[in-house]
Homo-oligomer: A and B are copies of this chain.
Amino acid sequence: MSKQLSGDLARADSLAREIFSDIANKWALLIIETIGDATKRFTELKVEVDGISHKMLTQNLRLLERNGLVVRVVHPTVPPRVDYTLTEPGQALRATVDAMCDWTQRYLGEIEEARSRFTG
């Protein structure tokens, strides 16, 4: 089934590859996870995605917006307020990121052990 897909990604279709490369970076994925099915403000994300810089947050939010994974709602109040929410494609991607998170949790022990065994 994804024999085809993995082939496409590893080799050919430049659009699919470009999207994959955009998406497959830790900040983008962590932001998606953090928004979840909620609506979050910029500052909330800044706090909850720990370690992320102001710059990386805006940058990746723009990236996600550009690809239609999040919607950005600006409230013309003062002080300004901007809400971020996942779109349906974004939610669908989140499901797969959830799976990666589950994986991490599930194999935490094995990985830790593999590391200690690794004489590198």
Residues of B within 8 A of A107 (CB): 89, 92-93
Q: Does A26 contact B (CB under 8 A)?
A: yes
A30 to B19, CA, bound (A): 13
Residue ID in chain B nearest A101 by CB atoms: B5
The yes or no answer to A120 lying at the interface (CB within 8 A) is yes
Q: Which of B9, B65, B114 contacts A101 (CB 8 A)?
A: B9
Are the CB atoms of A115 and B66 closer together than 8 Å? yes
Interface of A is mostly: helix
Chain B residues within an 8 Å CB radius of A5:
98, 101-102, 104-105
A90 to B98, CA, bound (A): 17
Q: Are B25 and A104 closer than 8 Å at their CB atoms?
A: no
Question: Which residues does chain B contribute within 8 Å of A19, judged by CB atoms?
Answer: 104, 108, 111
Does the CB pair B93–A96 fall under 8 Å?
no
Chain B residue contacts of A65, Cβ below 8 A: 118
- Are A66 and B114 in contact, with the CB atoms below 8 A? yes
Partner of A67, one of B6, B15, B114: B114
